[in-house]
A and B are shown apart, each in its own frame.
Chain A
Amino acid sequence: MIGKLVRPMQLLKTAWILPIALLIFLSALVPNSHGAGAVSVRAELSRPEINAGEAAELQINVSGADGAKVPQEIAVEGLQIRLTGQSTQVQMVNFKVTSSAVYSYIVMPQRAGKFTIPSISVQTDQGTMQTRPLTFSVVDSSGAGQPSSAAAPSFPQPGMPGFSQPSRAVRQRSDSPNGGQLAFGEITCSKKTFYAGEMIPVEIRYYFNANYPGVRVTSNVDFGSEGLLVERTPDPKQSQEDRDGIPYLVLTYHTLLSAVKPGPIDIPFVKLQTQVQLPGAVPPGFDAQLIQQMMGGQNPFVQTRDLTVKTAPLHLEVLPLPKEGKPASFAGAVGQFDIDAMVANPKPAPGDPAMLTIKIGGKGNFKAMGAPVLTETDGWRTYPPADKFDSSDALSYEGVKSFDFTLIAQEQKTNSPGSEFSYFDPVAEKYVTLATKPLPLKASPASGAASPTPIAAAQSTPQQGGKPSPTVTAKVGEGEPLSTMTLHSWKTPAQRSEFLIASLGMLLASVSLAGILQFRRYQTQQGSASSRRRRLASLWSSLNSESLDAAASYDAALEYVELLGASENEAELAALTARRDALKYGVGGSVMLAGEERARLIETLRKLPHKA
């Protein structure tokens, strides 16, 4: 019941939509049903005055017309004005439909001065209309105020569509309704006066108008300055920031600067090559807003252009390191450091080297840092150290640098050498010398070892910079060339096919040997059985042939019984033995055995059980 009531209510609620839609449809079908005779054309500049190098926006607003035709470019001496886009708006008030179109131009000044943009002819379906002339001032940018003291927005855009002056700077895009710049850069330096060799952290920020999100960085940060050492720039950090109410995408780069030579250094700019996507000109007759809606918010007329963003110039002053008070162990380190030492193997075998590691930690110019100088090296042979740097930040400004010294004892030693390291502290503006004491160890020279060659002597002095010189003008001691020659393979025997073949051969030989032995064993076993059978047959034949005398017959009978199995026929064996002995050692052994006795003997033997 309730369901039946609800449905008519819903129909009543939605029923009004249909006639309204029908009305709109009909009004759209009726030609010139809207605002006939109320066509107006108006031209406006976004700003009446801009700085040289900036851009302004010119809009032509056409209302009350179905369509309009505007010029692609407007010729004004000293200005370049080009159509960049179009938008259309349709409104219905009291069933009266009105439409307005806005045509946007970018105005690029080529020089400073006052300009007049003349009347612009706009062709509409109601006829040709004229805009009012507009005055426009361009102020020389050299005296213009900047967004901040360190900023120098200068944006030459070599490839802006239709502009022939690539070296001119651009700050603003026409599509930015509240003004603002397309991109600019800022550089922040912690100090502008520093010492030669000192590392100065620098921050460079590039701002890109967030209304143009299609920005792509195509190069690394470029300091176009000589006499300046710039560390590798890590990847920038991205953030967003508002300036004068305009949102900007900010790329922040951090790096380190240093200089070798004292004197002034001028950095004209720090530039970044990028590509930006700018809205391109909409072909006449297209509604930019409509097309953008159809493309899902994407502007199909986007043009990608190269854009170089630069910072303001920066003046730096490089001071020379003071000559007075420079320690002998100073090797170019500038910063703030501490020192530590350790021996990796305090009890090396006689003749083996000990490894002394000196660790320099802190912040400063680690790359230019020379090795510490070893002290108290008597009785040691030392070599230039190998170094390794473990950085604790991305810029390699802070960290620990280890120097590994190889030490070979020339005599019995109980302490390692000490070390000394000097650096210049730019904060305290003075040289500082750090030292480590000799560390306890037990090292002795090799007993009976070959005396050190002159090579070692030539290398025994540690070198600055920790870079060993491998070129050794050697004078070889007793090394004489060998006149005999043996041949060896580069491969181990196990890697060679011959070894594998030989191993397989041995395996085969073992299997063959096993087979042969097994076969022989079988043959032997089989052979003894058959010979036993043959002997039994021979004895049986002799006993029956009456060719044997009495003693020999009993001998044969005894052997026959033994072959059949002595243990199983013990009683017969004893009886036969007794009779044989009686015949052999008594009387009648040499005569032929009587027929009865022979028959009895053979019968006895026949009854004996056979061995299996």
Chain B
Amino acid sequence: MMRMRSFLYLLFIGFSFSASLRAAVSDDLFTANQSLSTGHPAEALAAYQSMLDSPDLSKFSSPELWYNRGLAEERSGDAIKASLSYRRALLLDPTLLPAQTRLSSLLASLGIPASKNWTDRLFLMLHPDLFILGGAILGWLGVLLFVFFILSTPRRPGLIVLTLLAVILGHGLTLFGAWNDPRRLATDEAVVTVRNAPTLRETPADSSKADGTLAPGSLVTILSRNGAWWKVSGGAASTGWIPSTAITPLLPAAAGS
């Protein structure tokens, strides 16, 4: 009983923190949204930036804030940074429909083909957290029931098999969600954020042989780092070294801390 009370207390604290944080930024959010709606994207952008820089939003962040920031950047004429903000919003919540729509439209305008595999399409409908947490709950519930039924008399084989299936299915879903979660994959991903298409080099040097270019706004995978030069892959056919200043990691710096 005491344990249950402690757990509920912790839940209450977590909820209170979330609620107080939401209350703290709600006024700022309203003001920033007003600025954006009334045609002052620069002011709105500064306000969104200020909210996102808040220490409270280091490990946690709001996909809606990133989406709004993307809107402000897009209206300020910075399509590349807007694409990064939309990508970050979708990283936090892949089911955020407005961000999906805006990003698709923006990438099309930048001439970047939107390549989505089936897991990406699945996460557009169902948040990966649902797989991980739902799977974990189902899996562990299955474990508990399996233990119960296997040790109870008389034994009922049908229920035992059913709970065993729940164990396998639940933990399988958790593993699937965790493995394919865009946030896990994003640790090695970055977006080209310079206006001029950066040249891929064969070796980390300006004098090295050029090996194609990367479209601004495109998503690349960081393969290795060598000081100010990072080796990236923009697809099967385009791999090379570019200056690290040409790209911005998909995960904000604060997220890694």
Chain A residues engaging chain B, CB cutoff 8 angstroms: 232, 352-353, 355, 367, 381, 383-389, 391, 396, 406, 408, 450, 452-453, 455-456, 458-459, 467-474, 476-477, 479-495, 499, 502-503, 506-507, 509-510, 513-514, 517-518, 521
In the bound complex, what is the Cα–Cα distance between A352 and B214 (angstroms)? Answer: 21
Contact status B112-A406, CB under 8 Å: yes
* Further pairs besides A353-B114, A476-B102, A479-B74: 9, Cβ < 8 Å: A383-B108, A386-B212, A388-B213, A468-B110, A470-B216, A481-B68, A488-B63, A489-B59, A513-B148
Contact status A487-B113, CB under 8 Å: no
Binary CB contact string for chain B from 182 to 201 against chain A (1 if under 8 A, 0 otherwise): 01100000000001110000
Question: Can you list 26 A-B contacts with CB-CB less than 8 angstroms, sorted by A residue number?
Answer: A383-B109, A383-B111, A388-B213, A396-B209, A452-B108, A455-B109, A458-B109, A459-B111, A467-B196, A470-B79, A474-B75, A481-B36, A481-B67, A481-B68, A482-B68, A485-B62, A486-B93, A487-B60, A492-B178, A494-B132, A494-B178, A495-B184, A502-B136, A503-B136, A510-B140, A510-B143
Contact status B113-A406, CB under 8 Å: yes
Top-5 shortest CB links A-B: A383-B111, A490-B255, A388-B212, A494-B178, A470-B216
How many inter-chain contacts with C-beta < 8 Å in the A-B complex? 211
Pick the residue among B82, B132, B215 that contacts A493 (CB under 8 A): B132
Contact status B211-A389, CB under 8 Å: yes
B196 to chain A, nearest CB (A): 7
Tell yes or no: B169 within 8 A of A by CB: no
Complex interface: chain B residues within 8 A of A385 (CB): 111
Tell yes or no: B245 within 8 A of A by CB: no
Tell yes or no: B128 within 8 A of A by CB: yes
Assess A486 versus B133: contact at CB under 8 Å? Given A470-B195, A481-B36, A510-B140: no
In the bound complex, what is the Cα–Cα distance between A271 and B184 (angstroms)? Answer: 54
Contact status B105-A450, CB under 8 Å: yes
Contact status B105-A452, CB under 8 Å: yes
* Range, interface on chain B: 35 or more
Complex interface: chain A residues within 8 A of B143 (CB): 506-507, 510
Complex interface: chain B residues within 8 A of A367 (CB): 210
Contact status B197-A485, CB under 8 Å: no
Tell yes or no: B26 within 8 A of A by CB: yes
Complex interface: chain A residues within 8 A of B216 (CB): 468, 470
Q: Which residue of B lies closest to A354 (CB)?
A: B113
Pick the residue among A388, A456, A488, A494 that contacts B108 (CB under 8 A): A456
Pick the residue among A467, A474, A509, A513 that contacts B77 (CB under 8 A): A474
In the bound complex, what is the Cα–Cα distance between A476 and B101 (angstroms)? Answer: 12
Complex interface: chain B residues within 8 A of A484 (CB): 64
Within 8 A of A (CB), among B113-149: 113-114, 128-129, 132-133, 136, 140, 143-144, 147-148
In the bound complex, what is the Cα–Cα distance between A381 and B108 (angstroms)? Answer: 9
Complex interface: chain B residues within 8 A of A477 (CB): 105
Pick the residue among A408, A488, A507, A513 that contacts B61 (CB under 8 A): A488
Contact status A353-B113, CB under 8 Å: yes
Contact status A521-B60, CB under 8 Å: no
Complex interface: chain B residues within 8 A of A513 (CB): 144, 147-148
Contact status A386-B213, CB under 8 Å: yes
Pick the residue among B26, B110, B196 that contacts A472 (CB under 8 A): B110
Q: Which residue of A lies closest to B200 (CB)?
A: A388
A522 to chain B, nearest CB (A): 11
Interface of B is mostly: helix
Complex interface: chain A residues within 8 A of B178 (CB): 492-495
Contact status A386-B60, CB under 8 Å: no
Chain B residues engaging chain A, CB cutoff 8 angstroms: 18, 21-22, 25-26, 29-30, 32-33, 36-37, 44, 57, 59-65, 67-68, 71, 74-75, 77-80, 82, 91-93, 98, 101-102, 105-106, 108-114, 128-129, 132-133, 136, 140, 143-144, 147-148, 151-153, 174, 177-178, 181, 183-184, 195-197, 207, 209-217, 237-238, 251-252, 255-256
Complex interface: chain B residues within 8 A of A387 (CB): 212-213
In the bound complex, what is the Cα–Cα distance between A521 and B80 (angstroms)? Answer: 66
Complex interface: chain B residues within 8 A of A353 (CB): 108, 113-114
Contact status B108-A482, CB under 8 Å: no
Complex interface: chain B residues within 8 A of A388 (CB): 211-213, 237-238
B82 to chain A, nearest CB (A): 8
B118 to chain A, nearest CB (A): 12
Complex interface: chain B residues within 8 A of A381 (CB): 108
Pick the residue among A489, A495, A510 that contacts B60 (CB under 8 A): A489
A547 to chain B, nearest CB (A): 38
Contact status B197-A474, CB under 8 Å: no
Complex interface: chain A residues within 8 A of B57 (CB): 487
Complex interface: chain A residues within 8 A of B195 (CB): 469-471
Q: Which residue of B lies closest to A454 (CB)?
A: B109
Complex interface: chain B residues within 8 A of A495 (CB): 178, 183-184
In the bound complex, what is the Cα–Cα distance between A488 and B256 (angstroms)? Answer: 14
In the bound complex, what is the Cα–Cα distance between A439 and B126 (angstroms)? Answer: 38
In the bound complex, what is the Cα–Cα distance between A415 and B195 (angstroms)? Answer: 32
Contact status A473-B77, CB under 8 Å: yes
Complex interface: chain A residues within 8 A of B213 (CB): 386-388, 467
Contact status A492-B183, CB under 8 Å: yes
Contact status A510-B209, CB under 8 Å: no
In the bound complex, what is the Cα–Cα distance between A353 and B59 (angstroms)? Answer: 36
Complex interface: chain A residues within 8 A of B74 (CB): 472, 474, 476, 479
In the bound complex, what is the Cα–Cα distance between A518 and B178 (angstroms)? Answer: 34
Complex interface: chain B residues within 8 A of A489 (CB): 59-60, 183
Contact status A232-B207, CB under 8 Å: yes
In the bound complex, what is the Cα–Cα distance between A519 and B5 (angstroms)? Answer: 26
A406, A493, A499: which has the most chain B beta carbons within 10 Å? A493
Complex interface: chain B residues within 8 A of A406 (CB): 108, 111-113
Assess A455 versus B106: contact at CB under 8 Å? Given A406-B111, A517-B148, A517-B151: yes
Contact status A487-B61, CB under 8 Å: yes
A355 to chain B, nearest CB (A): 6
Complex interface: chain A residues within 8 A of B71 (CB): 476, 479-481
Complex interface: chain A residues within 8 A of B78 (CB): 471
In the bound complex, what is the Cα–Cα distance between A513 and B140 (angstroms)? Answer: 12
B199 to chain A, nearest CB (A): 10
B8 to chain A, nearest CB (A): 15
Q: Which residue of A lies closest to B36 (CB)?
A: A481
Assess A510 versus B147: contact at CB under 8 Å? Given A468-B110, A468-B111: yes
Contact status B22-A488, CB under 8 Å: no
In the bound complex, what is the Cα–Cα distance between A187 and B4 (angstroms)? Answer: 88
Pick the residue among B26, B102, B105 that contacts A485 (CB under 8 A): B26
